[in-house]
Amino acid sequence: MLKRVLVGLLRSHEHTGDKAKDPKLKSHYYRLSKDRTFEEVGSILKKMQGYRVLHELETIGEIVMEKRTISGRTMDITVQIVGTSPGASAVDIYSASRGSLGDLGSNYRVIQEIYGVLDRKLANYRY
């Protein structure tokens, strides 16, 4: 946790992916087609308190959202859904804070919060 805050002093973005060193930032996989994953994830994200879905680009599997922090900063969040096989998909998240100062780890926490909600709601499909 302290490491995240120290990294966050300098960096104001965070992202997930297959090659992430931190296991909590690895891509999450679900046994659903890309289209179905897009529908499910979009529906879940629209119901999350404190987040606002701005755009849904189904053709490229992207959902763009924003979140306002208590301090008044705005965070831009992109959720990417990629079909990995006919019945499976990966979900990655990129989160960035507007402004020049670091985020004190808030983008990392936002990613964990979103993944936590998705994993709970899509528990039957997670692998």
Q: Which domains does the chain possess?
A: 2-125 (3.30.310.220)
Residue 123: per-residue pLDDT: 97
**pLDDT tens digit sequence for 96-121:** 998 767 677 789 999 999 999 999 99
Residue 104: per-residue pLDDT: 75
**pLDDT tens digit sequence for 36-52:** 999 999 999 999 999 99
**Band of residue 4 on the pLDDT scale cut at 50, 70, 90:** very low
Contacts of 94 (CB under 8 A, 6+ apart): 13, 14, 15, 16, 77, 78, 80
pTM for the predicted model, two decimal places: 0.89
**pLDDT tens digit sequence for 49-82:** 999 999 999 999 999 999 998 878 899 999 999 9
Give the span between the Cα atoms of 91 and 83, in whole angstroms: 9
